[in-house]
Structure 1
Amino acid sequence: MAPSPQSVSRGMPPLAVAVVGAGAAGLGAALALARDGIPTALVGRHAPVADGRTVALLDGSVRFLRALGAWDGIAPHASPLAELHIVDDTGSLFRPPPARFVATEIGLDAFGWNVESARLVESLRVQARSASNLTLFESDASAAEFGADAVDLTLGDGTRLSARLAVGADGARSKLREAAGLVPREWSYPQAALTTILAHTRPHRDVSTEFHTREGPFTLVPLPGGHRSSLVWVMDAARAETMAAQDDAALARAVETRAQAMLGAMRLDGPRGLVPMRGLSLPSPVATRLALVGEAAHLFPPIGAQGLNLGLRDAAALRDAVVASMADGRDPGSRAALAGFARSRSRDARLRTLAVDTLNRSLLTGFLPVDVLRGLGLLAMTTIAPLRRIVMREGVVPRLGAPSLMR
């Protein structure tokens, strides 16, 4: 239960940290800080959306969720991703053979675990409700004022609170980012991603398969039970709207055809969603008394399982920065305390954004030299074992600057 506005606004010193945004990245950041005894507020309504979206939690993210105590609630509903297959289905004159990546080659049982997004958020929420040093405010922030010594937040229910550091985890249209005067670079693609959950007659055998097509990636990711998978189908935006409007049987047949019947007959087994393909980046995820995490700091298409995993790395890295600054008696909202966080997260976000953007645009171009370069890269990863292992490790468990709770 949220404190009354009077009890928060009168005569109380600022909290150490206020996290604004109750999605996975915000919940992860708040729990990581609170577990180290840092007085933290989590501001935001819990409003999960049923759109058939799942998230492939890579190995570092699983380690982070274990540290937060949330993994036990997720594991029974998650499916391991033991192998990744990539199939060039562009129709190009230069098409490499299908590529196969196996987790055991880099010493892992699985690259990650696929789970419905709503399940992930609810498991984190359960931990947040009982966490020490964490106060929940079930209302969105309506205004923020950044001062020399504190951030003053006004919530939609009239509650006011102050914190030495505000964490913006309030999504791609972040109000905190806007209030701090940070202007992102934004772009869009002529595509949309159709998402849903499917049941199929053939087992997936814990294999995630990604078809590269001229409209974008078409990806089937395993779900528990052996005969269910989640779909992320990137295609032309107008066609995606038409496809999303089809009845269940017609859509299932279209997916089955696109998947070359590799999983047998299909039927829809969950809600469907339509995700616009957009991008967003910032030169730096910090400002005066503000640190941005998740989609408030970076946004790119749902390709390669990078988006949410990057947001969870933001949360884990912010915890390291705040804990280190407070252990040294420094102000956690100062620029000096956040400088290392800003450098590492900017570098990580730039690399992931570049990789996803380059892959997506290379599929759309239809220019043979680009096809050749993309195909040679995939062929090199398939045939050169040391290179393949380096790419797999960096994609799943980044070594450079990995936050302590992900090591």
Structure 2
Amino acid sequence: MTQRKPASGTPSREADIAVVGAGPSGMTMALLLARHGFRTALVAPALPAADDRTTALLESSAEMLRSLKLWDRIAPHTAPLEHMRIIDATGRLIRAPEVVFDASELKLPAFGYNIRNAELNAELAEACKAEPLLERIDARVDGLETGESGVSLSLSDGGTLDVRLVVGADGRRSAVREAAGIEVREWRYPQCALVLNLEHDAPHHDHSSEFHTPTGPFTLVPLKGRRSSLVWVQEPGEAERLHALDDETLALEIERRASSILGRMRIVGTRQLYPLGGLSAKSVAANRCALIGEAAHVFPPIGAQGLNLGFRDVATLGEVLVAARRRGEDIGAASVLAAYERARRPDIASRTTAVDLLNRSLLSDLLPVQLLRGLGLYLAGRVPPLRRFLMREGIAPAMARPRLMRGLTLG
């Protein structure tokens, strides 16, 4: 990392690539780049208070983390998801039978691994500190100016950062996306997610249980020990009522909704409310800027797709940039960004559409919609080739699985 003092006396830095945003996608992107020889700056304010939410890292994401030599430090904090159960609790005229998917059918130890975001972030942050080609800059990006050969970022600490490419990992309200002139399509759902963690008397046996209700999913995902995380999607007014309950009353309500499958429950830590909506960037790259994670796509917490889709952005962009450098190309060139766009667009569009349709099918009272949804789940439970296909594609689509998620190197 090069640092110099311009005439103004404010610090100026240079790097190959700036990654803006220090969530899991941003930190993993920065580590991937630095470990493949790019001088990388990770730019974001200091991490906020501990995040009580959890993330299910699907097997493809775990494989990428193994490839980056990160999994050994993350794995001890995780709980495996060996079985995934879908229960139709809509109470409607047409209901699907219960379906249980088992990772052993794919000869995998688990579909994925659930971890508290605070523990995932802490391990990634420690790895970042130890990376010699990675500089962490605790600052906001106040301005971004693109040119023919690079990008200059104005930082809140008064300095500047000159790079050849900016990676926007700065979330739904991405300043990088706005500066790059990339438009978005946004939408809202009449839903709100109540998110919290639980202790329970009965073991979860590494089962993830998703109850489909008329207001959205009610999903219990295993954590280490006799703990689970809950994402409960409700109508906003009801979500606020539940959020306001005392711990004991809320725990009893959750136990009732879960049909006591985990026994007596106790609330652990804080509870959070998230209004649900979606966002899709019309492009994931432009003007020497590339988007990953929620800067490029946002959708409801269904099927553990959010961060895993973001990790596929990370792995694909890394693959594209390493290949471009090998060919002697400018890593911020329009042709390189176009290659990233082509690689990611089908996966992002198909996942966004699938999650949107599944969520809307739960909200619909139309009999044809209920029939199609019920038939789909029935076939998924009764037709082995279809079951295996859905399980494999749920982990990561075969046509959009980058090298690092297949146990291969980038060279």
Tell me which moved more, 339-348 or 326-335.
Answer: 339-348
Give the match's secondary structure for 2:299: coil
Do the aligned partners of 2:96 and 2:373 also contact (CA within 8 Å) in 1?
Answer: no
Distance 1:166 1:204 in 2: 43
Distance 1:135 1:350 in 2: 33
Percentage of identical aligned residues: 50
Give the match's secondary structure for 1:152: strand
Partner of 1:280: 279
Structure 2 CA distance for partners of 1:175 and 1:5, relative to 1, 3 Å: farther
Deviations 1:91-139 (A, max 9, x none): 1111121001000101100000000011111111111101121111111
Structure 2 CA distance for partners of 1:233 and 1:116, relative to 1, 3 Å: same
The amino acid of 1:328's aligned partner reads R
Distance 2:391 2:4 in 1: 50
Distance 2:57 2:101 in 1: 17
Structure 2 CA distance for partners of 1:12 and 1:48, relative to 1, 3 Å: closer
Partner of 1:138: 138
Distance 1:5 1:386 in 2: 63
The amino acid of 2:101's aligned partner reads F
The amino acid of 1:288's aligned partner reads N
Distance 1:9 1:367 in 2: 66
Deviations 1:191-231 (A, max 9, x none): 11101000111110000000000000000000111x11000
Shift of 1:14: 4.7
Structure 2 CA distance for partners of 1:305 and 1:331, relative to 1, 3 Å: same
Give the match's secondary structure for 1:284: coil
Shift of 1:51: 5.0
Structure 2 CA distance for partners of 1:349 and 1:5, relative to 1, 3 Å: farther
Partner of 1:294: 293
Structure 2 CA distance for partners of 1:135 and 1:9, relative to 1, 3 Å: farther
Give the match's secondary structure for 1:352: helix
Partner of 2:233: 234
Partner of 2:154: 154
Do the aligned partners of 2:5 and 2:11 also contact (CA within 8 Å) in 1?
Answer: no
Do the aligned partners of 1:5 and 1:160 also contact (CA within 8 Å) in 2?
Answer: no
Shift of 1:178: 0.8
Partner of 1:317: 316
2:256 is aligned with 1:257: yes
Partner of 2:25: 25
Tell me which moved more, 74-83 or 394-403.
Answer: 394-403
Distance 1:102 1:8 in 2: 62
Give the match's secondary structure for 2:16: strand
Give the match's secondary structure for 2:220: strand
Deviations 1:304-342 (A, max 9, x none): 100001111111111001101011110000111122211
Do the aligned partners of 1:83 and 1:111 also contact (CA within 8 Å) in 2?
Answer: yes
Distance 2:73 2:269 in 1: 21
The runs of 4+ residues in structure 1 deviating greater than 4 Å are 1-14
Following superposition of structure 1 onto structure 2, how do residues 103-252 of structure 1 map, counting pairs within 5 Å? 103-225=103-225, 227-252=226-251
Do the aligned partners of 2:182 and 2:282 also contact (CA within 8 Å) in 1?
Answer: no
Following superposition of structure 1 onto structure 2, how do residues 65-80 of structure 1 map, counting pairs within 5 Å? 65-80=65-80
Uncovered stretches (5+) of structure 2, i.e. residues with no partner: 407-411
The amino acid of 2:46's aligned partner reads H
Shift of 1:357: 0.5
Partner of 1:94: 94
Following superposition of structure 1 onto structure 2, how do residues 354-373 of structure 1 map, counting pairs within 5 Å? 354-373=353-372
Structure 2 CA distance for partners of 1:196 and 1:8, relative to 1, 3 Å: farther
**RMSD of equivalent CA atoms:** 1.9
